[in-house]
Structure formats: C-alpha cells, structure tokens
Amino acid sequence: MSAERSAPHPVLIEACVDSVPSAVAAEAGGAGRVELCDNLIEGGTTPSAGAIEEAKARLRIPVFVMIRPRGGDFLYSDMEYAIMRRDIAHARALGADGVVLGLLLADGSPDLEKTRALVEAARPLPVTFHRAFDVCRDPQAALETLAGLGIARVLTSGQQATVPEGAELIATLVRQAGARIGILPGCGIDETNVAQVVERTGAREVHVRGTSPVRSGMAYRNPRVSFRSPVDGDDSVLDVTDTARIRSIAQVLAAV
C-alpha cells in the first residue's frame, strides 16, 4: 500500500493516537492516516515496536510513527539523535508508512544537519516535521529550509496554542508552500470547527485527536496511589479515540 494513498474524503483526516485500539477506532471513523505515538501527555514520544507491528497488522490505512526520544524541547544530544536513527530503522523494518520528527538548534531554527541525515535514513518513507515547527524563531524561513530537505509535510498550529488561533499564519504557509511541501494543521481541531479551519487556511489535510474519556474495567482502585505524574486524576480513566467523533469530523469534511 502506498503511504500517500488518496484521501477517503475531500480533506484527509490524520488521527493522532497513542494506542492500537485508538488507531483502529480512528480508521473505523474515517481517518485516512494515523500518527502513532506513545505518551501523548508529553506531546507524543516513540511508540513501542509491539505497538507499531500490531497497528500495521490491524490497519489498512497508513501508519506514521512518531520518532521522539523524550518529552520536552527539541534540542537533542548526540545520544538522543543516535536513538532516533535506530528508531527510524526499527519503524521501517516493522512496516511503517512514514515517520514524524522534529529537531531544532538552540537558536530556534531547524537542525539542518541532523534533519537531513534522518530524512535520508527514512527513505523511501515520507517524513513529517512535527510541531517543533511551532517553536521555530522564523516559521517562513524554517518552511523553506524544510522544503529544501525533502520533508513531505509540516504539522503546525500556526505557532499558537490552537489552530483556530494560528489560522492566519497557517494560511500564509499554505500559500508559501504551494505544491512543494504539505501543511498539516493540528491542535484544537474538532467537529465544531474543522470546516472553518479548512476554509480559513486552505489546507487539504487536518490532524485531530477526537477522543472521549473511557473508564477501564478495573473494579478495585487504591485511592492512595496514582501512577500519573503529576498526580492529577484517576489512572483508570483514559482518553481514547472515539469512532463517532472521527466520523462526525469526516461527515463535516465530506461537505466541504
């Protein structure tokens, strides 16, 4: 299957997921691609080999794998960079359809040398540059750099907290990018605003979560112990991709 298959809707939905059940739910709702992560509470890190392999066994849509060795910022040490190279090799071997990454220099510009090497290591898989872009010092200059490196698309909220707030910059980036590199709006998009996002930005893909809280079947809970850090809730309640919410987004986009 091509990693760049045609969208099932006029605007392709990429679902950001942190589990295989969520990936399956996203496909059932009409997503055309998933970004498979772990640890979304930290913005997403590299998923396990088992998660990648199981997702590929169960899904028919492309699976793009997050390559991020830790949470926090995007200035990586040589050791972390070596981990990223190994994770790309493992993702390729497990059948990933693309990878998602982002590396910056201390001055807030894309790390040209390391990013170029990782793009080469990923070939022939397409590479998405993730929301590290949103903390670049100069987004328009960064876009030119990334286009020149052969990055397939940039995931961005328009350097704001959410896409609706950053829509003006995203529209500017879409015009600047032309056909050279894709612009993928992501963060804060849902069924209530996706049509407006597409209209305001001109984007032809959107990146969504579409989750709902789901309680596990665990009957016993020790209220004195929590494994979340910081302790902020019930370990037995998880945000899981909701097929109905993804379907609602798809239905809105079908009319755009």
- Label each residue of the chain as H, E or C: CCCCCCCCCCCEEEEEECCHHHHHHHHHHCCCEEEECECHHHCCECCCHHHHHHHHHHCCCCEEEECCCCCCCCCCCHHHHHHHHHHHHHHHHCCCCEEEECCECCCCCECHHHHHHHHHHHCCCCEEECHHHHHCCCHHHHHHHHHHHCCCEEEECCCCCCHHHHHHHHHHHHHHHCCCCEEEEECCCCCCCHHHHHHHHCCCEEEECCEEEEECCCCCCCCCCCCCCCCCCCCCEEEEECHHHHHHHHHHHHCC
Specify if 96 maps to a domain: yes
CATH number at residue 39: 3.20.20.380
Specify if 207 maps to a domain: yes
Number of domains in the chain: 1
218 versus 15: the higher-pLDDT residue is: 15
Specify if 74 maps to a domain: yes
232 versus 103: the higher-pLDDT residue is: 103
Specify if 90 maps to a domain: yes
Task: Confirm whether pTM is higher than 0.95.
Answer: no
Give the pLDDT band of residue 221 (cuts 50, 70, 90). Answer: confident
Give the pLDDT band of residue 114 (cuts 50, 70, 90). Answer: very high
- pLDDT at residue 223 is higher than 90: no
Specify if 1 maps to a domain: no
Domain residues for the domain of 33 are 12-216+227-254
